[in-house]
Structure 1
Amino acid sequence: MKRLNAATLTSELAQLDLASCLMSKRGQLIFEFDKTGHKAAEIARINSCTKSVLSALLCIAMDQGHLPDLSTPMSAFFPVARGSDLHSITLLHLLTMTSGMNWTEFGGQNSFPRMTKSPHWVNFVLEQPLSDPPGARMVYNSGGSQLLAAILASAAGMSVASFAERYLFGPMGIEEYTWERDPQGIHTGGFGLSLRPIDMLKFGQLYEQKGRWANQQLITQELVTRSTQPAIIAEAPRRGYYGWHWWADAYPDPGEGNEATQSFTYFNAYGFGGQAIYVIPSLEIVVVLTCEPRKKNQIPLQVFRRFIAPKLAEGTMSFE
């Protein structure tokens, strides 16, 4: 059985424009690549990985009874939607990005940039018409994430960040972070959170441990499983499936790799610019990748599947 030496992986990652790569197994750090020696300890924008943190907070709110069943129409929180085409959009549709709204994140309508330039982000999203029946297909939509952040703040009776500090960040010892807000003071649901890579790893470990941290069950195992399992096929050209603000996929694809390669499923958070958290439950491994924000034109694509997943699938790993 092949064994991977840490130096081999470090050498390969050093050729890429990565800021850091952290890997843990059963909650223990087993590999660290830090290009400058201090990136892992500095907070940086995690971009759309924020969506997966929001998913965790929504699951906690569900566990605590703050949120109704996900089949509840979002109009329960936004009465203006009751008399529009949006009345049939449920909380689950927002979580799985199947709201059916006529939305093009970037390019085309540039819905996301237009939302962030508007004076009222929630109202901007609620003004969008439908282009598909809710639930029919996935269309990436950070506007739906902002609606969910507003719903969480309303249901919990506190800001999104305060809820996170009390029920997620605090228990996990995550103290250093920043979180942007919209013009109404609602924390951004689809982006805008900054964390240290080491704390991104903690967040992935929470999910690898099925919602348990230390001696406390922060999220029930049921909701950890439900939120990360495939719910709908991903919108092209993205690969895999989408869950509750988590991506889900498998390695290898049919015909990829060789007969000796073991296969595994994984779920991950992904943010623009190459920020990512991968959780491989069957291997009890979490991988965090971060990239320099100033090198967006040199983002190394598919780092996990090209450089890390093949080595994980080869067998036992040695980092001595």
Structure 2
Amino acid sequence: MTDDWLATPAAEVPLSGELMGKMDGAIRNGDFGNITSVVVAYRGRIAFERYFAGDAGTLRNTRSATKTVTSILVGLALAAGELPDLNARVLPLLPQKPHLYQEPRKNEITFADLMTMSSVLECDDWNSFSSGNEERMYLREDWLQFALDLPIRGTPPWETPPAQRPYGRAFSYCTAGVYMLGRALAGAVRMPLEEFAAKNLFAPLGIEQYRWQHSPTGQIQTGGGLELRSRDLLKLAQLYANGGEWGGRRLLPSSWVQASIEPRVQFEGSDGRSFEYGYLWWLQSFAVNGKRVATYHMAGAGGNIVLVAPALDLAAVITSENFRRSDAHALTRALLSDHILPAVNLLE
């Protein structure tokens, strides 16, 4: 597969024109807030592409979708033999510096722990009282020091201990942990991670335009803020839909792709629904025409999503700037469940 797939006229790839047309009109009418782009690939070909702010060349900040890009980079490091496995301990690969709360359990934190948001660090972006809440990190110059200084989290008596939960892990959404993960990965590959990503991921996919967010000390923020074009975000989804291949070249082992999207931790959302999470990939199924359609995706604040629906042979990107709306992700899910996924399902 080459970049020619992006040049395919959308009319040549079948999707339900009625559903997609209604979606286009509803977005332009403001029914879904500030959606900025929708790009869909069906059977590896562009099937729908619309821009509601900017154009195909606009870089999109999809916020925490960057975390999943970091997962992809870990897979590339494993494939290159730069990292033995996900049981590798993180601290030996980091710059050695004194830190608060010296505790043996910190020394045992692994790549797998950080990639499943289940390390022993007291870090929860969804809890404003948490020591590790990312807003506290941004007030510090040295983000790695911030992460290293975090205390060990406890389990109050009214909560189930991690070992007794599904998959034996307790989920706690932690941007500081993914930043630490990126710094450890840079140590494993022995080069700046920005350089490693450019050489091993972006160049093979033909991604030439991108912009990383950086920490005050100059390292890339692997926990959020990477800006990519909508089409290039779709390339990342299609790479996984292809089982790790691109343009006839294998970039990632198919075994890594599968391992990444297997459930590794389970948790309950604020709405009481149960969710599962892989290696920095969100796992979710949608009700489509009376059936459940399994998907895996990257997600970022404001309702941004980069999704693969294997059973439908579909990959989709929705970029959104609904940053101050509590229903941002619900709006994106509605676009998927009511328009994009049924538009394929009707063809089956």
**Could you tell me the TM-score, scaled by structure 1's length?**
0.88
SS in 2 for 1:286: strand
Cα 1:199/1:161, change in 2 over 3 Å: same
Choose which of 50, 55, 58 in structure 2 pairs with 1:33: 50
Match of 2:316 in 1: 287
| Identical pairs, percent | 28
In structure 1, the partner of 2:183 is 150
Which residue type is aligned with residue 89 of structure 1? I
The residue aligned with 1:77 is: 93
For 1:93 and 1:22, the matched residues in 2 are separated by: 33
**What value does the CA root-mean-square deviation take over the aligned residues?**
2.4
Cα 1:202–1:317, aligned 2, differ >3 Å: closer, same or farther? farther
Select which of 73, 79, 102 maps to 1:63: 79
2:336 to 308, 311, 317: 308
Which amino acid in the other structure matches residue 64 of structure 2?
S
Hey, what's the Cα distance between the residues in 1 that align with 2:285 and 2:75?
A: 24
Letter of the structure 1 residue corresponding to residue 129 of structure 2:
G
* 2:25 alignment partner, one of 1, 11, 21: 11
Q: Distance in 1 between matches of 2:199 and 2:214?
A: 18
Q: Helix, strand or coil: the match of 1:189?
A: coil
Shift of 1:62: 0.6
Task: Give unmatched runs, 5+ long, in structure 2.
Answer: 1-14, 155-161
In the TM superposition, 1:1-320 aligns within 5 A as 3-5=16-18, 6-14=20-28, 15-16=31-32, 17-36=34-53, 38-78=54-94, 83-106=103-126, 107-109=128-130, 111-132=133-154, 136-237=169-270, 239-252=274-287, 261-292=290-321, 296-297=324-325, 300-311=328-339, 312-313=341-342, 316-317=345-346
1:208-264 CA-partner distances (Å, limit 9, x unpaired): 111111011111110011011211113522752111111001122xxxx6xx52322
- Deviation, 1:156, is 1.1
Deviation at 1:300, TM superposition (A): 3.6
The alpha carbon displacement at 1:104 in A equals 2.6
Return the alpha-carbon distance in structure 2 between the equivalents of residues 316 and 94 of structure 1.
36
String of CA shifts for 1:241-294, please: whole Å, max 9, x gaps: 111111001122xxxx6xx5232210011111121101101111111111237x
Shift of 1:108: 1.8
The residue type paired with residue 171 of structure 1 is P
Task: Write the distance in 1 (CA, Å) between the matches of 2:43 and 2:331.
Answer: 22
Unaligned runs of 5+ in 1: none
**Contact preservation (8 Å) 2:265, 2:276:** yes
Deviates more, 1:299-308 or 1:24-33: 299-308
| Cα distance in 2, alignment partners of residues 83 and 103 from structure 1 | 16
Report the count of equivalent residues: 309
C-alpha displacement of 1:140: 0.1
Equivalent pair of 2:39/2:50 in contact (CA under 8 Å):
yes
Q: Does the 8 Å contact 1:261/1:313 carry over to 2?
A: no
1:276–1:172 Cα change, 3 Å: same
Kindly indicate whether the alpha-carbon contact (under 8 Å) linking 1:172 and 1:213 is maintained by their aligned counterparts in 2: yes
Hey, what's the Cα distance between the residues in 2 that align with 1:126 and 1:315? 46
Q: What's the CA shift for 1:147?
A: 1.0
Is the contact made by 2:169 and 2:265 (CA closer than 8 Å) also made in structure 1? Answer: no
Question: What secondary structure does 1:23 align onto?
Answer: strand
- Note the C-alpha offset of 1:164: 1.0
Check the 8 A contact 2:303/2:332 in 1, yes or no.
Answer: no
Q: Compared with structure 1, are the counterparts of its residues 115 and 300 closer, same or farther at alpha carbon in structure 2 (3 Å cutoff)?
A: closer
* SS of alignment partner, residue 118 of structure 2: coil
| SS of 2:121 mapped into structure 1 | coil
Whether the aligned pair in 2 keeps the contact of 1:58 and 1:152 (CA below 8 Å) is yes
